[in-house]
C-alpha cells in the first residue's frame, strides 16, 4: 500500500489526470443525482408538506397534481374507519394563469397548480407555510385570494402582493408570499377550498381528494388496504402517494432520464480517461516492473499494486470532488434549482466512483502482458 502511494506521489504528473477525471465523474454523478431528487421532490410538495396520513382519489391517480373530481360524500366513507381521527376534502389541479399586459406581447400566460384546502391551523391538506401563518389564513379566506412562492413572481409576471391576474376569466389577487414551494411544473397557487373549487369549475359536491389523519402511519396503511376493495377510488398512504407522484414525473416526463443520461455520460468519460491514464502509467513503468520481477516479486503482487494505485486514485478523486460538489450545490440552490444531497445519493456516488476507478485499474492490467525480466536487457 505504501509503495502504491509512493509511486503516485513521485509520478504525480502521470496520475493527476486520472484523479481529476475521477473527480469530474464523481461531481457530475453526485450533482446530477441530487438534481434529479430535488426536481422530482418538487412534484410531491402538496403531499410532503401536509399533515395527512391518507389520500383518497380517483381510480389509478398517478400524481398529486393529476387528480380528477370525485364525490365529496366519500368523506363519510373514509371517516367510518375507526383508525381515522380527522378527515377533510381538498382540491388540487392544473389551471391557466393569465396576467394581462398593455398588449399581447406583454401578456403572461402560465400553467399553474392550484392547491385548495381548509383554512385553519389544523388543516390536513394545507401547506405548512399556510397553516402556520394566522395572518395569511385570514387573508386567504377572501374569495379569489391566493398565495404564491416568492421565487415564482417573474414566472407569473407579477411584482408581489396586491397584483391581480385571471384564471379562466376569474379574477384572483395575490395576498401573500411563501418560501420553499418552487415547482418543476406549474407554479403552486395556495388558496381556500372554495376558491379552488370555483377556479377549477368543480360542482359543489365535487373535490379532488379526501385526506385523513389516522392514529398512526401503520393504521393509514391498514385503512388504505381495506379501501382498495372499492373500484371507484384509490387509497394511498402519504408516503406511497409521494413516491408515486415522483416516479410519474421521473419516468413519464423524461426529465429524470435526460439528467440520468448526462450523469452516465460523465461516468463513461471519466472511466475511459481514468483507464487510459492508468494504462499509460503502468505501461511507462514496465522497466521498473521487469526489475521487480527479476528480483523475484510475484506478478500477482505487481498487479495488486496497480489495483491499489487505482484505489488511491479513486479515493483522492472523491476527496477533490467533495468541496467542488458542495460549491456547485450551493450555487445551483442560489439560482433557484433544487439539488438535494441525500446521504443515499452521496453513498451511491462514492461507491460508483470507486467501482469505476477499480474497473479502470483492472483494464490497465492488460499492459502486464509485456512485463518480463528480460525486458531490461533487450
Domain region containing 373: 2-41+255-377
User: Are 208 and 289 in the same domain?
Assistant: no
How do strand 108-117 and strand 188-192 relate by DSSP bridges?
parallel
User: Quick count: other Cβ atoms within 10 Å of Cβ 296?
Assistant: 7
User: Are 176 and 259 in the same domain?
Assistant: no
pLDDT at residue 370, as a whole number: 57
User: Are 165 and 269 in the same domain?
Assistant: no
Hey, is 192 helix, strand or coil? strand
With respect to residue 242, please indicate whether it lies within any of the assigned structural domains. Answer: no
User: Are 65 and 34 in the same domain?
Assistant: no
User: Are 106 and 9 in the same domain?
Assistant: no
> Is the torsion defined by CA of 128, 144, 41, 208 positive or negative?
positive
How far is 302 from 352, CA to CA, in rounded Å?
Answer: 25
pLDDT at residue 222, as a whole number: 92
With respect to residue 129, please indicate whether it lies within any of the assigned structural domains. Answer: yes
Task: Give per-residue pLDDT as tens, 326-347.
Answer: 898 888 777 767 777 878 878 8
User: Are 93 and 218 in the same domain?
Assistant: yes
Which of the given ranges, 142-146, 155-159, 368-372, has the highest pLDDT on average?
142-146
The number of domains in the chain is: 2
How far is 293 from 366, CA to CA, in rounded Å?
Answer: 16
Mean pLDDT, the chain, rounded, equals 82
- pLDDT at 295 exceeding the cut of 90: no
- What are the percentages of helix, strand and coil residues in the chain, rounded to 5? 55, 20, 25
- pLDDT at 1 exceeding the cut of 60: no
Task: Give per-residue pLDDT as tens, 82-124.
Answer: 999 999 999 999 999 998 765 666 677 889 999 999 999 999 9
* Mean pLDDT within 38-46: 81
Picking from 169, 199, 232, the residue at the C-terminal end of a domain is 232
- pLDDT at 290 exceeding the cut of 90: no
With respect to residue 54, please indicate whether it lies within any of the assigned structural domains. Answer: no
Which runs of consecutive H residues, i.e. helices, occur in 148-230? 153-156, 193-199, 217-227
Amino acid at each position: 500500500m505504501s509503495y502504491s502511494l509512493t509511486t503516485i506521489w513521485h509520478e504525480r504528473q502521470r496520475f493527476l489526470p486520472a484523479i481529476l477525471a475521477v473527480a469530474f465523474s464523481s461531481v457530475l454523478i453526485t450533482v446530477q443525482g441530487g438534481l434529479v431528487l430535488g426536481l422530482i421532490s418538487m412534484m410531491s410538495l402538496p403531499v410532503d408538506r401536509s399533515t395527512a396520513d391518507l389520500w383518497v382519489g380517483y381510480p389509478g391517480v398517478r400524481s398529486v397534481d393529476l387528480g380528477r373530481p370525485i364525490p365529496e360524500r366519500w368523506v363519510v366513507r373514509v371517516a367510518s374507519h375507526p383508525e381515522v381521527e380527522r378527515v377533510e376534502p381538498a382540491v388540487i389541479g392544473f389551471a391557466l394563469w393569465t396576467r394581462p399586459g398593455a398588449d399581447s406581447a406583454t401578456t403572461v400566460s402560465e400553467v399553474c397548480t392550484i392547491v385548495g384546502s381548509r383554512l385553519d391551523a389544523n388543516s390536513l391538506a394545507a401547506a405548512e407555510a399556510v397553516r402556520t401563518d394566522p395572518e395569511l389564513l385570514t387573508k386567504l379566506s377572501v374569495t379569489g385570494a391566493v398565495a404564491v412562492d416568492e421565487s415564482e413572481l417573474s414566472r407569473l409576471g407579477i411584482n408581489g402582493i396586491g397584483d391581480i391576474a385571471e384564471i379562466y376569466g376569474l379574477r384572483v389577487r395575490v395576498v401573500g408570499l411563501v418560501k420553499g414551494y418552487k415547482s418543476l411544473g406549474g407554479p403552486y397557487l395556495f388558496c381556500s377550498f372554495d376558491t379552488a373549487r370555483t377556479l377549477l369549475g368543480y360542482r359543489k359536491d365535487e373535490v379532488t381528494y379526501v385526506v385523513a389523519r389516522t392514529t398512526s402511519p401503520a393504521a393509514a396503511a391498514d385503512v388504505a388496504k381495506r379501501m382498495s376493495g372499492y373500484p371507484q377510488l384509490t387509497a394511498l398512504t402519504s408516503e406511497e402517494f409521494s413516491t408515486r407522484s415522483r416516479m410519474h414525473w421521473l419516468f413519464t416526463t423524461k426529465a429524470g432520464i435526460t439528467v440520468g443520461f448526462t450523469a452516465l455520460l460523465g461516468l463513461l468519460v471519466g472511466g475511459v480517461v481514468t483507464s487510459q491514464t492508468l494504462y499509460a502509467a503502468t505501461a511507462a513503468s514496465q522497466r521498473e516492473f521487469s526489475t521487480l520481477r527479476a528480483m523475484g516479486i510475484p506478478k500477482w503482487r505487481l498487479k495488486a499494486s496497480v489495483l491499489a494505485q487505482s484505489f488511491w486514485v479513486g479515493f483522492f478523486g472523491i476527496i477533490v470532488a467533495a468541496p467542488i460538489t458542495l460549491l456547485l450545490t450551493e450555487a445551483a440552490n442560489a439560482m433557484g434549482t433544487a439539488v438535494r444531497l441525500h446521504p443515499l445519493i452521496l453513498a451511491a456516488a462514492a461507491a460508483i466512483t470507486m467501482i469505476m476507478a477499480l474497473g479502470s485499474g483492472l483494464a490497465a492490467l492488460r499492459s502486464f502482458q509485456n512485463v518480463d525480466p528480460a525486458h531490461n536487457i533487450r
